[in-house]
Chains A and B, each alone.
Chain A
């Protein structure tokens, strides 16, 4: 596929067909076969997007430095595309009761979540844009927990989408995730000032609140962002999760979904509660360190490698690397990059798929 308009249209069309037709079929196949085909599709996409591969590999090397050899960076990049394709299959397996996905995911640390809820103040699961995090949150709902997520649906804030496109992505992506969640997502738009109070309502009802903390801060959140150690650098992140926990008394646990080497089985690791009392910056550094450790453990699962602009907003790469090399490309496809209204975008959540 070339880089011209025709190439971009083809890529977008392939993404639409994959999410609307291919992935639903793969999601109904025996898991080993469905995920194997998804991996093949990921390999195919990677071969046809050498510029994007170079960008991802370059970002990996820039951020992780000597921890990653050039060869390893290439391998992680290929893996990134595979996992992105597999993510769509995860979403499709959430159909009906979601058991088709639940059967493939082992939840470790469930006792920590149960103990946290037994205390009656709800539980916050803190994560990152890591692996099939959105499917993991919905899967918890399918497993019997009352789950609500703080986070924007990408199709609701990506600039330049038509109403038809928004409806399409809502139907093929968000709807499948949403059905396993107790309440609509609490979407932190700029100027929406009731986000934290609505989140507190969830916790007061002794439910589970999920939040990803590794998003670049919105313009109006930059004053509250903190510089914290992250992936060997200082990243600007918003410590709202700690403030929320301190005000409500809810415990903060981490949750990360790791994909196994066979691609179809996954493990959702839920931690014991993190200490969030005392000084806010110290407490938030603990949360950020957990996300950072998960990314370091399996870097291919982190969504932001594909968006130099978002990495720059986080403070992980230099601004001069921030040149939006693909700004004209269509959103919600493999080419998805930071939108004008960017912020806590579920980066490439729909995209790579």
Chain B
């Protein structure tokens, strides 16, 4: 999961090559990698790739602060997805 997300962010959202390679704990907000529109791109990617829906209430900076926090957020959503499929 970390690799998939990191690859997407590195290839699609990072505009400053100096920020590469991207560390799991790099702050995506403070580094300027994520702004309003790139967050949307990321959310659309995550929804498509992991089969979840990110609601407005989940659009919190702490969920998208870094690759690590994104993965942690996704893990909290995986049980819901599995339950839905189960």
**Which residue numbers of A lie inside 8 Å of B, CB to CB?**
188, 192-201, 220, 223-224, 240, 243-244, 247-248
Contacts and interface: CB of A to CB of B under 8 A. Distances in A.
A200 B40 CA distance: 8
A196 B39 contact: yes
A244 B41 CA distance: 9
Contacts of A244: 37, 40
B54 interface: yes
Interface string B25-54: 000010010111101110110000000001
Contact of B36 (A193, A223, A248): A193
Contact of A197 (B29, B56, B61): B56
Given A193-B39, A197-B39, A197-B40, 17 more contacts: A188-B36, A193-B35, A193-B36, A193-B61, A194-B39, A194-B56, A195-B36, A197-B36, A198-B56, A201-B56, A223-B32, A224-B37, A240-B36, A243-B37, A244-B37, A247-B41, A247-B44
28 contacts: A188-B36, A193-B29, A193-B35, A193-B61, A194-B36, A194-B56, A196-B36, A196-B39, A197-B36, A197-B43, A197-B54, A197-B56, A197-B59, A198-B56, A198-B59, A199-B40, A200-B43, A200-B44, A223-B32, A224-B35, A224-B37, A240-B36, A240-B37, A243-B37, A243-B40, A244-B40, A247-B37, A247-B40
A193 B34 contact: yes
A218 B24 CA distance: 30
Contacts of A243: 37, 40-41
A196 B56 contact: no
Nearest to A240: B37
Chain B interface size, as a band, is 10 to 19
A187 to B, nearest CB: 12
A192 B40 CA distance: 13
A220 B29 CA distance: 12
Contacts of A193: 29, 34-36, 39, 61, 64
A200 B56 CA distance: 10
A244 B29 CA distance: 19
Interface in B1-41: 29, 32, 34-37, 39-41
A192 B36 contact: yes
A186 to B, nearest CB: 10
Closest 6 CB pairs of A and B: A196-B40, A194-B59, A195-B36, A196-B36, A196-B37, A243-B37
A198 B35 CA distance: 13
Contacts of B29: 193
